[in-house]
Amino acid sequence: MKTLLVMRHAKSDWGAAFGDDHERPLARRGVKAARRMGRFLADAGVAPQLVISSTAVRALTTAELAAEAGDWGCPIITTRDLYASDAESVLERVGETEAGVERLLITGHEPTWSMLVTWLIGGGRVRMPTAAVACLDLPHGDWLDLAPATCELRWLMTPRMLKGN
């Protein structure tokens, strides 16, 4: 069974000086949330074996801080394919993942992430707040087999749910 962890970037700093949207950094609150989620994933026993992140500063920083805080020790690959993309484009990129990877985390953006999770679990209404992680199980097949209604939502966790832990 494969596990796909879908992580939205943490809270960004709209007041910071940045050139364009791609360069927007994290807010202090976002830094704390990314670290909290990284520790949570490690403690829950679902630290990823590989991370694929959007190249946007806020997404990559989220992935790096989470990995450091959780001591994941896995590679982080960046791709612009996860920035301003749609669910199908994301899955094309995920489909290139080696079959030996059992737990994959992708870090990116709204509204794509909510649509992607909803699409993979076959409907409903999923909302991905900043730094939220959805844990999806693909019970049958490989990364190339991801399609509508092929996953089961194990859980969706937000930093706020972990506050005080």
pLDDT tens per residue across span 123-154: 999 999 999 999 999 999 999 999 999 999 99
What's the confidence (pLDDT) of residue 117?
98
Instruction: Please say whether the beta carbons of 107 and 54 come within 8 A.
Output: yes
Instruction: Please say whether the beta carbons of 146 and 6 come within 8 A.
Output: no
Summary count for the chain: helices (H), strands (E): 5, 6
pLDDT band for 13, please (50, 70, 90 cuts).
Answer: confident
Residues forming a β-bridge with 134: 6, 156
| Structural domain total, the chain | 1
What's the confidence (pLDDT) of residue 150?
97
pLDDT tens per residue across span 51-93: 999 999 999 999 999 999 999 999 999 999 999 999 999 999 9
Residue 94 phi/psi, 5° resolution? -60, -35
State the residue range of the domain holding 130.
Answer: 2-162
pLDDT tens per residue across span 35-46: 999 999 999 999
- CATH number at 144 reads 3.40.50.1240
pLDDT for 164 beyond 80? no
Q: Kindly report each contact of residues 118-122 with a partner whose C-beta sits within 8 Å and lies 24 or more positions away, as own/partner.
A: 119/87, 119/148, 120/4, 120/146, 120/147, 120/148, 120/149, 120/150, 120/151, 121/149, 121/151, 121/152, 121/153, 122/148, 122/149
Cβ atoms < 10 Å from Cβ of 20? 7
- Read off the tokens for 12: 């960004």
* C-alpha closest to that of 78 among 147, 9, 143: 9
pTM: 0.96
